[in-house]
Amino acid sequence: MEKVNTNTHKKTLICISAPANRGKTDTAIEVISLLITYPAVKLIKQNFNSKKILDSCIVQIGKQIIGVDIEGDPGTNFPARINALAAHPCDAIVCTARTSGETLDAAKKTAKKNNMLFILTTTYQPDNSATESIMNDYKAEHIIDLLKKRGHI
C-alpha cells in the first residue's frame, strides 16, 4: 500500500460518519468536552440552533483554531455551518454526517475547497447498547489523539 503524505495539507477536516442514532452527536459533544479542558484554551464562538441547543463551537488552543459541528443531519443548514467554520478560518474541523447525502457531500466539498486533509471515520458501533456511551467517549479520545498528531493541539 502506498503511503500518503499527510503533511501536504496543513488543515484537517475529520468527519464522523454513521447512520442515524449511532452516536455521532454524542461523540462530537465529547470532543468539545475534551477540548475545553486544555490549559489556555480560549472559547471563541458558540452557535445554538433554534431550539437553543449547541450545534457548533470554535476554540483556540495555542495558535490553532479548532471548530466542532455536532449537528450533521440533513435539513439542519449543515453546509452553511461547515463552510462558516472553514471561513473562520479553522485549522481543524470535526463534524458529523450521515453515511451519504447532503451532509457528507458538504463536508467533502468544504475540505477540498479549503485544501484540508479529509479524514472520514465512523463511530464505534458495539452490539451491546449498554456500552455505546463508553465507546463514544473512546472515539472522542481517539479523535483528540489524531488532532494532536496532526499538530492542532
> What digits encode the pLDDT tens for the residues 32-81?
999 999 988 999 988 766 666 677 899 999 999 999 999 888 888 899 99
Q: How far apart are CA 153 and CA 144, in angstroms?
A: 8
Q: Hey, how many other C-beta atoms are within 10 angstroms of the C-beta on 91?
A: 20
Cis peptide before 74 (omega within 30 of 0): no
* pTM score: 0.89
Cα dihedral sign, 129-133-139-143: positive
Write the secondary structure of 92-111 as one string of H (helix), E (strand) and C (coil): EEEEEECCCCHHHHHHHHHH
- C-alpha 44, offset from chain centre: 16
Across-strand partners of 95? 15
Mean pLDDT over 127-131 rounds to 78
Mean pLDDT over 118-126 rounds to 92
Sorting pLDDT into bands at 50, 70 and 90, what band is 152?
very high
Nearest to 25 by CA among 59, 66, 55: 55
**pLDDT at 95 (0 to 100):** 97
Residue with grid cell 462558516, as numbered in its chain? 84
**pLDDT at 2 (0 to 100):** 47
Q: Who contacts 119 (Cβ-Cβ below 8 Å, separation ≥6)?
A: 12, 13, 14, 15, 146
**pLDDT at 17 (0 to 100):** 94
Share of the chain above pLDDT 90, in %: 65
Q: Hey, how many other C-beta atoms are within 10 angstroms of the C-beta on 11?
A: 19
The architecture that CATH gives domain 10-149 is: 3-Layer(aba) Sandwich (3.40)
